[in-house]
Amino acid sequence: MNMDKKLRDAMNDQVIAEHQASLIYSQLAYDLDAQSFTGLSTWMAAQADEERVHAKKLADHLLARGEKVELGTVEVPPLHADSPVAAFRAALGHEQKVSEMIRNLARVADEVHDFDSRALINWFLNEQIEEEATVSEIVDQLVLVGDNGSGLLRIDAELGSERTPAPGPQ
């Protein structure tokens, strides 16, 4: 079933927002690597990969419904991630923005009575709860350790071990 144009546009915007999230996480990964927090950098880089999977899920739905995907220009806002806590706060801010966009997508789908996209949008609503909670918990832990070097290195080691570094060039 083809989609209402309003829903199609909102979903295409979401594809762009997920690619933007991926670039934001990549930038944060580079910033943290530059500060020698290699574990936190690995965590952010893995998150960047996950965001590309999110974009593909939405793009695949549009394509399966006979719609096109238009990426246009994907911009990365200034992030000022000069410490781990600043980096994770920037990530949390973007996740909150994405959550609001997903809620809007659900509103539009309801408005145009699009039942076919409901399962996908519900998956994203649940995913956002999880992502916000995870990032918020990391922010809380980083605030708790403050400038304590051994505390920061422990969090760096723990988060780095949760994620596998992306494979390098073959």
User: Using CB under 6 A as the criterion, which residues of the chain lie in contact with ligand FEO when the complex forms?
Assistant: 18, 21, 51, 54, 95, 98, 131
CB of 49 to ligand FEO, least distance (A): 11
CB of 115 to ligand FEO, least distance (A): 23
Nearer to ligand FEO by Cβ, of 106 and 145: the residue is 106
Nearer to ligand FEO by Cβ, of 21 and 142: the residue is 21
Three-state DSSP string of the chain: CCCCHHHHHHHHHHHHHHHHHHHHHHHHHHHHHHCCCHHHHHHHHHHHHHHHHHHHHHHHHHHHCCCCCCCCCCCCCCCCCCCHHHHHHHHHHHHHHHHHHHHHHHHHHHHCCCCCCHHHHHHHHHHHHHHHHHHHHHHHHHHHHCCCHHHHHHHHHHHHHHCCCCCCCC
CB of 19 to ligand FEO, least distance (A): 10
Q: What's the rounded Cα separation, in Å, for the pair 102 and 106?
A: 6
Nearer to ligand FEO by Cβ, of 67 and 131: the residue is 131
Nearer to ligand FEO by Cβ, of 9 and 132: the residue is 132
CB of 51 to ligand FEO, least distance (A): 5
Residue of minimal Cβ distance to ligand FEO: 54
CB of 163 to ligand FEO, least distance (A): 14
